[in-house]
Amino acid sequence: MIPGEEIRKKADQYRDYTVANLARLVQTRSYSGQEKEAAELTEQLLREAGVTDLRIDGLGNVIARVGTGEKILAIDGHIDTVEVGDPAQWQRDPFCGTVEGDYLHGRGASDQKGGVASMITAARILQEMNYDGEYSVVFTFTVMEEDCDGLCWRYLIEKENLKPDFAVSTEPTSLGLYRGQRGRMEMELFFTGVSAHGSAPERGVNAAYKAARAAVAIGEFNERLEPDRDRFLGKGTVVVSQVHAHGPSQCAVPDQARLYLDRRLTWGETMESAIAEIQDLCGEDLKEVRVPEYTRPSWKGTVHAQELYFPTWKTPENHRIVQAGVHAWEALYGEKPRVDKWTFSTNGVAIAGYHEVPCIGLGPGDEDQAHAPNERIRISDLPRAAAFYATLPWVLNEG
């Protein structure tokens, strides 16, 4: 029997506890690659919650396990945040963790330390209920998601051999049940010309003009991109995000130019197809297309390099993990959740995209708060998310 009522009551009882933990997490600055203090605080909060099977892996992810079942349900939340941006746009200290009404304010509140705080509460609830079902619940508090989404999970699967049967992302969904997202990739486009003195440009070949023609063509191509066949994930996009040209001096025809592209990939689009499209668009003007590699070390000094390609993924609506998520929400609140998808990218690109682990998402907070000044989260979302995370393994155990 699914103990939905008991779990819901516990989650509501621990509302203030969850809020207090979230405030401490928000007050602990944790930009990508600088999560050491946040990881140590997360470990401390988990120990206080009664979790004993707990460690920090070689990359810096915090891993907590509840139960001894051979099958694994992973519940994931990243502990890093983007930076503040222009401080003048903030009405409060970005790291205040202040509560006003039904909102807690600060960088990372929605994206996505609210999910992390709810995960800690869910772990406490499962520990207190002596949960030990067929599915062990592995809570992963991951690093560097904002810098390179999915890198942490590629490390967990490829280096730590932690490949779950199912996974849940706690990125913000406004408490909807999400089952997919567009993928993305980054591309560098290189153009070359022939330098000449700026007083006689006809003697040279201007690499900047080649890049400019390509940029215009890419902008027009973006308008022609089509949505996926079932129109669930929507259309892909491509944008020129950086332009750079240079030559021997400011008084010379530039002989080198570079465009940097952000490409969002809908279902059926791949790295190879996206590169081929760009090559066709640019023609002979284009010298090279390169997908950059991410090599930044984690807070523990570990490098786990990967290309900046993040595959599209979706889990069918009739899949067992999606339906288990629906049933868990119904058991708690007597209604079906809204089933949808993210606009932005998550660690699902590695979990489901690279490694084909069936994945869903449900998180407190709103997607439009991510990376925004004056970020905040609804406090009332927190216990409902915690209850969902604690209920889902019971639903899976019932088959």
Q: What is the mean pLDDT of residues 369-385?
A: 98
Q: What is the mean pLDDT of residues 167-188?
A: 98
Provide the pLDDT for residue 217. 97
What percent of the chain stands above pLDDT 90? 99
Based on the residue annotation, tell me whether 160 is a catalytic residue of this protein: no
Catalytic residue among 57, 145, 171, 228: 145
The ranges assigned to domains in the chain are 4-182+312-397, 183-294
DSSP state letter for 73: E
C-alpha distances (whole Å) from 209 to each of 21, 194, 250, 252, 290 are 54, 12, 15, 13, 20
Q: Rounded distance, CA 43 to CA 63, Å?
A: 9
Based on the residue annotation, tell me whether 340 is a catalytic residue of this protein: no
Q: What is the mean pLDDT of residues 359-369?
A: 98
Sequential DSSP letters for 116-167: HHHHHHHHHHHHHTT---SEEEEEEEES-TTTSTTHHHHHHHHTS----SEE
Identity of the amino acid at 231: R
Provide the pLDDT for residue 115. 98
pLDDT tens digits, 185-203: 999 999 999 999 999 999 9
Provide the pLDDT for residue 1. 85
Catalytic residue among 35, 80, 149, 381: 80
Instruction: Give me the helices (H) in the chain, please.
Output: 4-13, 15-27, 36-48, 114-128, 151-158, 207-224, 271-282, 320-333, 348, 381-397
Q: Which two tokens stand for residue 75?
A: 């519940």
Q: What is the mean pLDDT of residues 178-184?
A: 98
pLDDT at 306 over 90: yes
For the chain, the helix, strand and coil percentages under 3-state DSSP, each to the nearest 5? 35, 25, 40
Identity of the amino acid at 82: V
Provide the pLDDT for residue 339. 98
Per-residue pLDDT band at 397 (split at 50, 70, 90): very high
**How large is the greatest C-alpha to C-alpha distance in the chain, in angstroms?**
83
Provide the pLDDT for residue 240. 98
Provide the pLDDT for residue 62. 98
Provide the pLDDT for residue 393. 98
Q: How many CA atoms lie within 13 A of 331 on its CB side?
A: 25
Tell me what the pLDDT averaged over the chain comes to: 97
Provide the pLDDT for residue 378. 98
Angle of helix 381-397 relative to helix 114-128, nearest 10 degrees? 50
Angle at 34 between CA 29 and CA 39, to 5 degrees: 75
SS3 state of residue 231? coil
Count the helices and strands in the chain (H runs, E runs). 10, 19
Provide the pLDDT for residue 399. 77
Judge whether 119 and 141 are in contact, CB under 8 Å.
yes
What class does CATH assign to 183-294?
alpha beta
Q: Rounded distance, CA 205 to CA 195, Å?
A: 7
Sequential DSSP letters for 219-262: HHHHHH--B-TTSSS-B-EEEEEEEEEE-SSTTB---EEEEEEE
pLDDT tens digits, 70-127: 999 999 999 999 999 999 999 999 999 999 999 999 999 999 999 999 999 999 999 9
SS3 state of residue 74? strand
SS3 state of residue 14? coil
pLDDT at 226 over 90: yes
What percent of the chain stands above pLDDT 70? 100
> Whose CA is closest to 224, among 291, 271, 284, 280?
280
Architecture of domain 4-182+312-397: 3-Layer(aba) Sandwich (3.40)
SS3 state of residue 307? strand
For the CA atoms of 309, 292, 239, 267, the dihedral, rounded to the nearest 10 degrees, stands at -10
C-alpha distances (whole Å) from 78 to each of 38, 264, 314, 324 are 10, 21, 20, 23
Q: Rounded distance, CA 62 to CA 65, Å?
A: 10
